[in-house]
């Protein structure tokens, strides 16, 4: 079975060989709305998380969906390195640096700082103008594997690709390490001249004269949803494909978002009525809200308790929201009782140590169990979204 599958002779290692999901959290707002959240490791080669349209995949999708829904057009860059230059990208630090640099170039920051370095004075207006020429908002995420020729020609053929004849890097087949950055921007058709300038800047900034850049776009919501699913999916499906990279990207922040995303939605999921893309979507609004720690029912902050062993979730009265979230029965608890009630609700009666933190000055009550860092870590596209250490929970 997949859980027992040992990886690189490291049985017992939490990182490579772990039941997923092993635990869940219970969250509640001050109005007594209650939710459960399964804790997923988020590692791409996890048999659970790496699966197509897994809960981990749906969470990544849901976090970005409200932003993509603000796009009237969606532009999709794929930036890949030639075979000869992939070796330096086998470390977490190098991937992080390259990812940040891509964002700096595409946001216009790189051009502004370059001009400043050359002694040019950049007024506020000029700064804005430069950024406006580039992409003031965007989302980016690494894929580690994939044959780009196949991906763009088959998986993403529904987008209109600029520069069709453009070359692709060879040697991206199957399990060959082929790191590439995916970027989504609210933009449509790009002229040849603009595309050339973007490519030049990326090549200079990343110091890779043979960098390969693809760009496609669409204004169809169904195709945007498809592209978003595609970009947020896992590609590092087996740690054995590149064990050194797998070990290096522990806790890697795979994605980055920039710009303002407070605009009105340009389209809604209702526009997908009858389209296959709509069929398997989670309750994305609820999931996105819960991912950022906000009650989807009333908008109040959610306090998360746990982790609790996953088997205790089975017996609970709940309604599935998708992506590993459920809504639980509403409970009104007197202050201070919440923690105890949640533990009971989770079917947990063993020895539990709850660290209570009372902030009377602000009338704010926070409490946490164990070294609970899960709620904050859970909001990120992070490799190794690990549950908090379970030292305080010895199991029932
Ligand atoms: Zn997992
Ligand atoms: Zn609420």
- Please give the distance, rounded to the nearest whole angstrom, from the Cα atom of residue 273 to the centre of ligand 1: 32
CA dihedral 45, 51, 53, 54 (to 10 degrees): -80
Give the chain's mean pLDDT.
82
Q: Residues 291-325: pLDDT tens digits?
A: 999 999 999 999 999 999 999 998 889 999 999 99
Q: Is residue 252 part of a domain?
A: yes
Give a yes or no: residue 301 inside a domain: no
Distance 48 CA to ligand 1 centre (A): 5
Kindly state whether residue 16 falls inside one of the protein's structural domains: no
**For residue 49, how far is its CA from the centre of ligand 1 (angstroms)?**
4
Inside any domain, residue 317:
no
Residue 261 lies in a domain: yes
Lowest mean pLDDT among 84-93, 252-261, 362-371: 362-371
- Closest Cα to residue 79, out of 181, 207, 205, 227? 181
The bound ligand whose nearest atom lies closest to the alpha carbon of 47 is 1
Q: How many Å apart are CA 269 and CA 203, to the nearest integer? A: 37
Predicted local distance difference test score (pLDDT) of residue 370: 37
Distance 362 CA to ligand 2 centre (A): 20
Whether residue 106 has a cis bond before it, omega within 30° of 0:
no
Ligand with smallest separation from the Cα of 302 = 2
Q: Is residue 294 part of a domain?
A: no
DSSP structure string for 140-179:
EEEE----HHHIIIIITTTSEEESTT----S--STTS---
Q: Is the pLDDT of residue 68 over 70?
A: yes
Residue 111 confidence class, pLDDT cut points 50, 70, 90: very high
Flag whether 202 is in a domain.
Answer: yes
* Residue 106: pLDDT over 60: yes
For residue 285, what pLDDT is reported?
81
| Residue 393 pLDDT class (50, 70, 90 cuts) | very low
Q: Evaluate if residue 184 carries a pLDDT over 80.
A: yes
Reported as a pLDDT band with limits 50, 70 and 90, residue 13 is: low
Report residues near ion ligand 1: CB below 5 Å: 20, 40-41, 46, 48-49
Give distance in angstroms: CA of 25 to centre of ligand 2: 16
Half-sphere exposure of residue 272: CA atoms within 13 angstroms, side-chain side: 20
Q: When comparing pLDDT for 290 and 356, which is higher?
A: 290
Q: What percent of the chain has pLDDT over 70?
A: 76
In a domain, 334, yes or no: no
CB neighbours (10 Å) of residue 9?
7
Q: What's residue 160's pLDDT?
A: 85
Distance 67 CA to ligand 2 centre (A): 23
Closest ligand to Cα 324: 1
Nearest bound ligand to the CA of residue 2: 1
- What b/e sequence results for 166-205 when a residue is b if at least 16 CB atoms lie within 10 Å of its CB, and e otherwise? eebbeebeeeebbbbbbbbbbbeebeeeebeebbebbbeb
What is the full DSSP assignment across 317-385?
A: -EEEEETTEEEEPP----TTTHHHHHHHHTT--S-B-EEEEEEGGGTEEEEEETT--HHHHTTS-BTT-
| Distance of CA 362 from the midpoint of ligand 1 (Å) | 38
Average pLDDT over residues 129-154: 90
Backbone dihedral region of 152: left (phi > 0), alpha (psi from -120 to 50 degrees) or beta?
alpha
Residue 276 is encoded by which pair of tokens? Answer: 């296959």
High-pLDDT (> 90) share of the chain, %: 60
For the ranges 195-204, 264-273, 343-352, 372-381, which has the lowest average pLDDT? Answer: 372-381
Determine the number of helices (DSSP H) and then strands (DSSP E) in the chain: 12, 13
For residue 385, the CA-to-ligand 1 centroid distance in Å is: 8
Q: How far apart are CA 115 and CA 316, in angstroms?
A: 60
CA of 31 to the centre of ligand 2 (A): 5
| pLDDT the model gives residue 60 | 93
Going from the Cα of 70 to the center of ligand 1, the distance in angstroms, rounded, reads 30
| Omega of the bond leading into 307 within 30 degrees of 0 (cis) | yes
**Cα-to-chain-centroid distance, residue 350:** 35
Residue 302 CA to ligand 2 centre (angstroms): 8
Q: What separation, in Å, do the N-terminal and C-terminal C-alpha atoms of the chain show? A: 25
Tracing tokens 């970009």 back to the chain, one arrives at 231
pLDDT value of residue 380: 54
- Gap between the Cα atoms of 344 and 81, Å rounded: 53
Q: What is the DSSP letter of 231?
A: H
| Closest ligand, as measured to the CA of 34 | 2
Higher pLDDT pick, 285 / 396: 285
User: Which residue, among 106, 212, 221, 67, has the nearest Cα to 158 in the 3D structure?
Assistant: 221
Residue 367 main-chain phi, psi, to 5 deg: -145, 155
Return the CA Rg of the chain. 23
Angle 225-226-231 (CA atoms, 0-180°, nearest 5)? 100
The total of structural domains in the chain comes to 1
**DSSP 3-state assignment of 257?**
strand
Ligand closest in space to the Cα of 385: 1
Domain with 187 in it: 70-267
Strand segments, DSSP code E, in the chain are: 23-28, 34-39, 74-80, 138-143, 160-162, 180-185, 212-218, 255-258, 303-309, 318-322, 325-328, 354-359, 364-369
Q: How far is the CA of 50 from the centre of ligand 1 (A)?
A: 7
Counting ligands in written order, the one closest to the CA of 289 is 2
CA of 268 to the centre of ligand 1 (A): 30
pLDDT of residue 332: 57
């Amino acid at each position: 079975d997949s859980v027992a599958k040992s990886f690189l002779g490291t049985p017992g290692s939490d990182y490579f060989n772990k039941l997923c999901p092993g635990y869940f959290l219970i969250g509640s707002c001050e109005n007594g709305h209650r939710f459960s959240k399964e804790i997923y490791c988020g590692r791409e080669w996890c048999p659970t998380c790496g699966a197509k349209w897994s809960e981990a995949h749906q969470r990544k999708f849901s976090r970005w969906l409200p932003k993509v829904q603000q796009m009237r057009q969606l532009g999709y860059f794929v930036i890949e390195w030639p075979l000869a230059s992939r070796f330096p990208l086998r470390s977490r630090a190098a991937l992080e640096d390259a990812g940040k640099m891509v964002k700096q170039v595409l946001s216009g920051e790189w051009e502004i700082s370059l001009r400043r370095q050359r002694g040019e004075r950049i007024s506020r207006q000029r700064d804005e103008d430069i950024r406006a020429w580039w992409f003031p908002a965007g989302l980016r995420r690494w894929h580690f594997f994939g044959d780009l020729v196949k991906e763009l020609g088959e998986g993403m053929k529904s987008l209109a690709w600029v520069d069709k004849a453009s070359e692709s890097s060879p040697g991206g087949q199957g399990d060959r390490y082929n790191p590439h950055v995916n970027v989504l921007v609210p933009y449509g058709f790009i002229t040849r001249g603009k595309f050339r300038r973007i490519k030049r800047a990326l090549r200079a900034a990343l110091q890779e004269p043979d960098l390969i850049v693809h760009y496609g776009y669409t204004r169809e919501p169904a195709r945007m949803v498809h592209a978003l699913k595609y970009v947020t999916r896992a590609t590092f499906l087996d740690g054995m494909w590149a064990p050194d990279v797998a070990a290096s990207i522990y806790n890697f922040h795979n994605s980055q978002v920039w710009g303002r995303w407070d605009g009105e939605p340009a389209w809604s999921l209702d526009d997908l009525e009858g389209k296959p893309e709509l069929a398997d979507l989670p309750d994305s609004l609820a999931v996105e809200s819960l991912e950022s720690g906000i009650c989807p029912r009333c908008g109040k902050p959610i306090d998360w308790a746990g982790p609790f062993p996953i088997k205790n979730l089975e017996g609970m009265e709940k309604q599935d929201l998708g992506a590993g979230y459920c809504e639980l029965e509403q409970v009104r608890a007197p202050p201070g009782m919440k923690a105890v009630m949640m533990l009971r609700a989770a079917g947990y009666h063993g020895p539990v140590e709850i660290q209570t933190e009372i902030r009377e000055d602000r009338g704010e009550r926070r409490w946490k169990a164990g070294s609970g860092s899960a709620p904050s870590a859970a909001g990120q596209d992070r490799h190794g979204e690990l549950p908090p250490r379970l030292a305080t929970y010895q199991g029932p």
